[in-house]
Amino acid sequence: MRVRLRAVGDAKGDAKGDVLPASPEGDCQDGCCGLIKRPGDLYEVLAFHLDRVLGLNRSLPAVARRFTSHLLPYSYTDGALRPIIWWAPDLQHLEDANNDQNSCVLGWLQYQEMLQPRRPMLVARDTPCSSIPHSEWSRLALFDFLLQVHDRLDRYCCGFQPDPSEPCVEEMLHEKCRNPAELVLVHILVRRSAPSRLVFIDNAGRPQHPEEKLNFRLLQGIDSFPAAAVATLRSGRLQSLLLQSLRLDRQFWESQGGAEGLRPLLQTIDRRAQILLRHIQEHNLTVFEDSPR
């Protein structure tokens, strides 16, 4: 549910702040809206903090909150902790109602062609996603590998053997892996104000995804990674930095049992980081510095 936020002390709100259901037309253009998601999406909060700790800065701000407003349906006020994601008012969506979670249409084969090392940084203007440079795909691949987010680059689960209960099996998407020309990327989004920067959404990922099934297809075609993020992974401080950051969201922190409760989850991400570092070393991949803004 998309809601309009009223800040503490707002003359139009009460002393505690509040939320109001937002109409689709115009209510959210001032950046004062959020999207309340399901309790099962709570790890979007962890993903947001991982994004900031690594210096990627591509995911939308997310916090964990319980909602009490009488203006919301009961299912939203039953005491369950839910993530609320800031609603970016200028996300660029396709006009196609069947594909409105993308800013551009991009197939897997086109994507791999764009990543070829001798291709220009920006391909021809009439090519889908032509404004997005190689470095953005590197950030996305690193982020998605650590969280095992398959929905963007591999919604068909072609990079691992999925369980029968996986949505990609139930929806018969996995069968399309036999024909790469049918595979498309989803949730590829940019903002109108920054068309060369990807926006990461739906980032809850799979904390319980088994290590023996890690999806390396998410890294296919990527030949370099952001230096600052790689340095953080190599520093041995990833877990402590995440704990320091996550402590700021008291409701998420307490719901997870604090540092002790979060430790197994952070250890999983740290192990994936070490596997990614081995992948970089074994394939002699490079790192790139962020260009000054």
Q: Is residue 293 part of a domain?
A: no
pLDDT tens by residue, 26-72 = 678 888 899 999 999 999 999 999 999 999 999 999 999 999 888 88
Per this entry, what is the length of the chain?
293
Pairing state of beta strands 33-36 and 18-21? Answer: unpaired
Q: Is residue 7 part of a domain?
A: no
Q: Write down the pLDDT at residue 124.
A: 47
Range of the domain at 266: 26-288
Q: Write down the pLDDT at residue 210.
A: 94
Q: Write down the pLDDT at residue 261.
A: 98
How many structural domains are present in the chain? 1
DSSP summary character for residue 28 = T
Q: Write down the pLDDT at residue 14.
A: 45
Q: Write down the pLDDT at residue 190.
A: 94
Residue 189 near residue 92 (C-beta atoms within 8 A): yes
Q: Write down the pLDDT at residue 35.
A: 94
Q: Write down the pLDDT at residue 9.
A: 63
Q: Write down the pLDDT at residue 85.
A: 97
Going through 47-119 in order, the beta strands assigned E by DSSP cover 62-65, 82-86
Q: Which residues of the chain have pLDDT under 50?
A: 13-16, 121-124, 293
Q: Write down the pLDDT at residue 116.
A: 86
Residue 268 near residue 207 (C-beta atoms within 8 A): yes
Structure tokens at 27: 């209510």
Q: Is residue 278 part of a domain?
A: yes
